[in-house]
Chains A and B, each alone.
Chain A
């Protein structure tokens, strides 16, 4: 039994030791994509209460620092007005497992020009409705969201607060870190 256990441990150790760097990088990218996908899905759910699950259509990863991987691309979600596509950008920290710097932009409602023209008014109504509904839901969850707001540290002596989009260094608001982390 002991021999078997040692074989398993040795095999795992060898696998880890022999795993080439590109493979590790691919795994890291995979984690970053998964984490950012969840973050985008949560944010869309928060903003648009009628939105279905978000799908990433493309994901480009880029290494930002030793621990950070940026993920950006195109994604979509379904709502009552059809598909809505948008661009996203997100950063994943492999050390803390946190995602931040989430940016969702260029929302494009409808799947074709014809659909867009046909559904323009309906889509606008849905967006406003979703925003209003989202605001009501968000308001109801205000306490939970505040409690759930955890700070994280991108560097020694620096703490960043996602809810406030603000970073503090040595006890004071940090323009540099706030810009670097949240204003990209």
Chain B
């Protein structure tokens, strides 16, 4: 099984597991859920705040694109940001360490995507409405794009 396969498996499995954290559902996630704190825990040891933010934004974008009609992931923008992030994070480290960081980023991305999907599905309509507003403004959020209107 390749790393991509493992990440995909996580992406698929975590939305199913996300309802296991019902505590934050009661408060509509006014703060990061305990699950999110755990999900980024390992990443915060190796990545900067900006790098973790890229994973957060990419994960929320992936969840949004999966869930909301009319919105797609801007693959090029995500690939560039995550690629630049990994290049920066891997500067001056050994090949073994680079692979470890790569795996850590993928696992964190998968976990955050699952949590984002779990949060989004609690109020899908409102979530997608807000996402569409963000996707229409690249200054606001660069990882999503609106699909062209169907003819």
Contacts and interface: CB of A to CB of B under 8 A. Distances in A.
B116 interface: yes
A151 interface: yes
B13 interface: no
Determine the main DSSP class of A at the interface with B: mixed
A134 to B, nearest CB: 7
Contacts, number: 110
A165 B53 contact: yes
B97 A161 contact: no
Interface in B105-148: 116, 119, 127, 130-131, 134, 140-142
A128 interface: yes
B88 A182 contact: no
22 contacts: A102-B48, A102-B49, A103-B49, A105-B88, A124-B93, A131-B93, A135-B45, A139-B45, A161-B32, A163-B32, A164-B32, A164-B36, A165-B40, A165-B50, A166-B32, A168-B30, A172-B130, A173-B56, A178-B57, A179-B53, A179-B141, A182-B56
A95 B38 CA distance: 30
Given A164-B32, A168-B31, A182-B50, A107 B56 contact: no
Contacts of B49: 100-103, 162, 165, 182
A39 to B, nearest CB: 10
A50 B134 CA distance: 43
B19 interface: no
Contact of B56 (A43, A172, A178): A178
Interface residues of A, number: 41
Interface in A153-170: 159, 161-166, 168
Contacts of A166: 32, 36, 53, 56
B94 interface: yes
B54 interface: yes
A183 B97 contact: no
A171 B29 contact: yes
Contacts of B45: 134-135, 138-139
B111 to A, nearest CB: 12
